[in-house]
């Protein structure tokens, strides 16, 4: 199926006019989901492998059929491969699939409540609003889930049946819309029947069965390379030794019990390679270490396993170059000649190659371009690549490579048409541009006679060049301690009873649960860096793997494992205000107490499932007195950088509706929407100051409040008129104005 749509087929002016050596571009799409299967029940505890399998995993590689000049690398985590294969070949369920297959007329009240709560769990603007019936059902349910029990009887049997189908149908990629069944269902739109629902469930299994064979086909054709991560996606340096966290953060608080098991790293690598060979018919050459997490300690294990190359973030390169070895000069270079080169490092007298990703280019696709016109986004990306090419001496171009590495599934939910328009535009322009050349990582490395030497490797990840996401917070550390205790209990059982043949199967099952619990995904959600709906389920899954180990070996687990780790500690991404504020609007941190009673939202600590390298805003404060609303925004850059970069911030009000405040050009202006795309200035000069921070006062009487007198807002960041981020991502910050009786103020996000 052609998915190019109506994109421009015109080549970039740069590619027409110029001649010379092409610059190599190495895309690596990282495909990963946590391990969701419960070994005891055989069922999946979350539906995301199946849903992303329907929407992202097949089309991301199948689209390349249209673009034979585009070569890419795909990193498939082995535990994801196992789960995809399981859905394709076996009769397995997740709760979403089970509730989908239930006849709508037989649903219990509890099942109806679960459907109304969970079946709209996708990005509304791209996956609900474009479909009238799905949008209608969301409107009928509303966004307030606190009274969901009272709404279940507002939905008729046909409503539930239509919702069951739409909540699956929107996850099926546009590449399948020429399929007779999918085309029929989308065209019909509503009043579906149970037979059609059964056909849709069977179609999902068919799609899941296409994924892995397609990757192998494209690999065997030579258009893609498939790399891997360790089996259950652990942070290898921390498995090797949790003390590795002190390499980047010397003062970090570590777990009480030191975890240091290089043998587990070796096992996770070996398990992954064996599954890879079974699935794809050859040995892998490359690895994306989980979360780009590297250290010198793990290199001998990778070399021993036959891994030729790894990749990580550019900050790891710069910090590695600063590491001074005896008799060597320290390098501080950050130019194109530094980043856009492959490196080699020696460990145990053997070499391994390393590429470092350009995190600006990677983040543009991951976080920014979803809000742009597809052609404009593709043009911007190519323009940046040409700027890089122009910065590299001609004689070095053949040995230079730009590594663009990011999650291959999560961002497309925020793109129109699941990213097909953008990818089609990008791949078309790349195919026609003779000064840019896409390559798999191994293709590029095998073409190089000599690579630059790296004498040391900084220990860190692609997120802030450290391991703080996974260790250091009390929740993270407690999780590590519980893992250590469980592993020690299993080792003790192995020593005492493992020699008996009847215990062999028990040991295999118990060790597998340990390896699953070593995955990075559990601690991703512990601590205060990330928040998501259903975070308690990740907590429960982690503890269930450890509890099952004790059950298998017939030992009593510690009481701590029965208590949620997450509920023991306070989340700090949102703090409610405690009273009135009356700040001085001077753009300075005038004194400690002026914003002390304000509400606070921390954008960097509610990053969702993906993690952005740059955020324009690091803190949002909000509050009120009897007459004014007050806002304080703490930017991550200086006023000079803000103005030079042509940034603007927009406070967009959902309540009272139809208002926005534009902060930029040295002033704050209030506008009211008078028609769909027309705004009228209400006040061109609000009280506003920007020096070290941004402070703003808004008179309440300028806004038309409803009876609730509620404020709901979000903050949007733009650069040169294009949205680059928003806070919160998919919600609003809400508070109520005080009544004349000075009632307590209730705040929420």
| Locus of tokens 């043009």 | 379
Looking at residue 658, its pLDDT comes to 83
Report the C-alpha gap between 540 and 215 in whole angstroms: 33
User: Which of the pair, 732 or 421, is modelled with greater confidence?
Assistant: 421
pLDDT at 747 over 50: no
| Annotation: CATH topology of 474-568 | immunoglobulin/albumin-binding domain-like (1.20.1430)
For residues 163 and 119, the answer to whether their CB atoms sit within 8 Å is: yes
Question: In angstroms, how far apart are the furthest CA atoms of the chain?
Answer: 81
**What pLDDT does 591 receive?**
74
**Range in 205-214, 567-576, 704-713 the model is least confident about:** 567-576
Residue 380 backbone zone (phi > 0: left; psi -120 to 50: alpha; other: beta): alpha
pLDDT at position 709, please?
78
* pLDDT per residue as tens digits for the range 316-339: 999 999 985 544 544 445 566 799
Contact by Cβ (8 Å): 389, 397: yes
In this predicted structure, the answer to whether residue 4 has a pLDDT above a threshold of 80 is no
Encode pLDDT of 280-312 as tens digits: 999 999 999 999 999 999 999 999 999 999 999
pLDDT at 325: 57
For 112, residues 6+ apart whose C-beta sits below 8 A from its C-beta are: 152, 155, 160
| DSSP-derived 3-state class of residue 226 | strand
* Burial zone of 716 (CB within 10 Å; 0-12 exposed, 13-18 middle, 19+ buried): middle
Instruction: Report the sign of the C-alpha dihedral through residues 251, 253, 259, 263, in that order.
Output: negative
Task: For 366-463, list the strands marked E by DSSP.
Answer: 401-407, 436-438, 452-453
- The architecture in CATH of the region 229-453 reads Alpha-Beta Barrel (3.20)
Count of Cβ atoms closer than 10 Å to residue 216 Cβ: 16
Q: Within 13 A of 99's CA, how many CA atoms are on the CB side?
A: 26
Q: Which residue has the higher pLDDT, 748 or 518?
A: 518
The residues, any chain, with a CB within 8 Å of residue 3's CB and separated by 6 or more, are 59, 63, 66, 174, 175, 420, 424
CB 27 within 8 A of CB 423: no
Distances (CA, A) of 259 to 299, 472, 569: 19, 13, 22
Whether the model clears a pTM of 0.85, i.e. scores above it, the answer is no
Sole residue written with tokens 């080169």:
341
Q: Using alpha carbons, select from 482, 105, 474 the residue that is nearest to residue 259.
A: 482
Closest C-alpha among 117, 123, 172, 162 to residue 142: 117
pLDDT in tens, 598-649: 888 887 655 544 555 567 898 999 999 888 999 999 998 899 989 988 899 9
Domain boundaries, the chain: 33-221, 229-453, 474-568, 574-748
- Determine the pLDDT at residue 746: 37
Tell me how far apart the alpha carbons of residues 281 and 275 are, in angstroms, rounded to a whole number: 10
Integer Cα distance of 575 and 212 in angstroms: 45
Return the minimum-mean-pLDDT range out of 155-164, 305-314, 537-546, 709-718. Answer: 709-718
Between CA 76 and CA 82 the distance in angstroms is: 10
Q: Which of the four pLDDT bands, split at 50, 70 and 90, describes residue 568?
A: low
The domain over range 574-748 is classified in CATH as 2.60.40 = yes
From start to end of 241-369, where are the E strands? 286-287, 309-313, 343-347, 350-357
Which residues neighbour 285 within 8 Å (Cβ) at sequence distance 6 or greater? 225, 227, 307, 308, 309, 442
Give me the mean pLDDT over the 424-444 stretch: 98
List Cβ neighbours of 133 (8 Å cut-off, separation of 6 or more): 162, 166, 189, 190
């Amino acid at each position: 199926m052609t998915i190019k749509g109506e994109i421009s087929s015109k080549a970039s002016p740069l590619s027409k006019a110029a001649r010379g050596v092409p610059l190599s571009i190495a895309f690596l799409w990282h495909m990963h989901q946590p391990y969701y299967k419960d070994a005891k029940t055989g069922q999946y505890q979350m539906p995301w492998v199946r849903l992303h399998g329907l929407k992202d995993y097949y089309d991301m590689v199948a689209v390349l059929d249209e673009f034979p000049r585009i070569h890419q690398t795909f990193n498939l985590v082995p535990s994801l491969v196992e789960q995809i294969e399981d859905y394709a070949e076996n009769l397995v369920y997740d709760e979403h699939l089970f509730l989908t297959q239930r006849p709508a007329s037989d649903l219990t009240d509890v099942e109806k409540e679960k459907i109304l709560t969970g079946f709209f769990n996708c990005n509304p603007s791209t996956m609900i609003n474009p479909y009238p019936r799905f949008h209608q059902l969301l409107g009928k349910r509303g966004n307030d889930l606190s009274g969901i029990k009272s709404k279940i009887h507002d939905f008729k049997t046909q409503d539930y049946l239509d919702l069951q189908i739409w909540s699956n149908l929107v996850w099926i990629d546009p590449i399948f819309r020429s399929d007779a069944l999918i085309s029929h269902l989308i065209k019909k739109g509503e009043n579906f029947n149970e037979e059609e629902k059964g056909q849709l469930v069977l179609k999902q299994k068919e799609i899941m069965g296409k994924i892995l064979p397609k990757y192998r086909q494209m690999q065997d054709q030579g258009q893609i390379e498939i790399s891997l991560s360790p089996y259950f996606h652990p942070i290898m340096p921390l498995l090797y030794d949790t003390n590795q966290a002190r390499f980047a953060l010397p003062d970090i608080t570590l777990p009480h019990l030191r975890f240091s098991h290089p043998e587990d790293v070796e096992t996770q690598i070996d398990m992954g390679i064996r599954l890879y060979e079974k699935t794809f018919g050859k040995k892998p050459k490359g690895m994306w270490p989980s979360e780009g997490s590297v250290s010198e300690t793990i290199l001998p294990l990778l070399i021993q396993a036959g891994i030729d190359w790894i990749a990580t973030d550019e900050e790891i390169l710069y910090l590695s170059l600063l590491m001074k070895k005896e008799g060597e000069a320290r390098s501080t270079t950050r130019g194109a000649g530094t980043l856009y080169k492959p490196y080699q490092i020696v460990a145990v007298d053997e070499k391994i190659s390393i590429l470092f990703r350009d995190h600006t280019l990677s983040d543009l696709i991951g976080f920014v371009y979803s809000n742009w016109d597809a052609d404009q986004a593709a043009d911007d990306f190519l323009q940046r690549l040409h700027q890089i090419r122009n910065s590299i001496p001609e004689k070095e171009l053949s040995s230079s490579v730009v590594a663009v590495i990011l999650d291959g599934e999560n961002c497309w939910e925020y793109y129109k048409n699941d990213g097909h328009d953008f990818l089609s535009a990008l791949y078309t322009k790349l195919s026609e541009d003779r000064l840019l050349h896409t390559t798999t990582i191994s293709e590029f490395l095998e073409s190089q006679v000599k690579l630059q030497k790296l004498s040391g490797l900084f220990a860190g990840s692609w997120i802030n060049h450290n391991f703080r996401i996974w260790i250091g917070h009390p929740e993270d550390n407690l999780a590590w301690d519980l893992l250590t205790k469980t592993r020690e209990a299993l080792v003790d059982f192995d020593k005492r009873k493992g020699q008996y043949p009847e215990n062999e199967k028990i040991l295999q099952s118990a060790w597998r649960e340990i390896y699953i619990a070593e995955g990075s995904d559990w601690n991703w959600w512990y601590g205060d860096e990330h928040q998501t709906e259903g975070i308690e389920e990740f907590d429960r899954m982690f503890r269930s793997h450890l509890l099952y180990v004790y059950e298998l070996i017939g030992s009593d687990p510690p009481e701590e494992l029965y208590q949620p780790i997450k509920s023991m500690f306070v989340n700090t991404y949102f703090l409610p205000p405690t009273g009135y504020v009356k700040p001085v609007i001077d753009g300075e941190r005038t004194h400690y107490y002026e914003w002390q009673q304000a509400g606070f939202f921390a954008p960097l600590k509610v990053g969702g499932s993906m993690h952005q390298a740059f955020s324009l805003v690091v803190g949002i404060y909000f509050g009120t007195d009897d007459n004014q609303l007050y806002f304080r925004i703490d930017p991550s850059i200086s006023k000079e950088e803000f103005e030079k970069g042509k940034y603007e911030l927009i406070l967009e009000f959902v309540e009272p509706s139809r208002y926005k405040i534009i902060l930029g050009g040295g002033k704050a202006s209030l506008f009211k929407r008078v028609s769909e795309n027309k705004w009228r200035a209400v006040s061109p000069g609000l009280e506003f100051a920007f020096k070290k921070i941004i402070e703003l006062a808004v008179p309440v009487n300028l806004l038309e409040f409803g009876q609730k007198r509620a404020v709901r807002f979000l903050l949007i960041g733009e650069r040169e008129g294009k949205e680059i981020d928003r806070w919160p991502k998919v919600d609003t910050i809400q508070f109520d104005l005080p009544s004349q009786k000075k009632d307590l103020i209730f705040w929420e996000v």
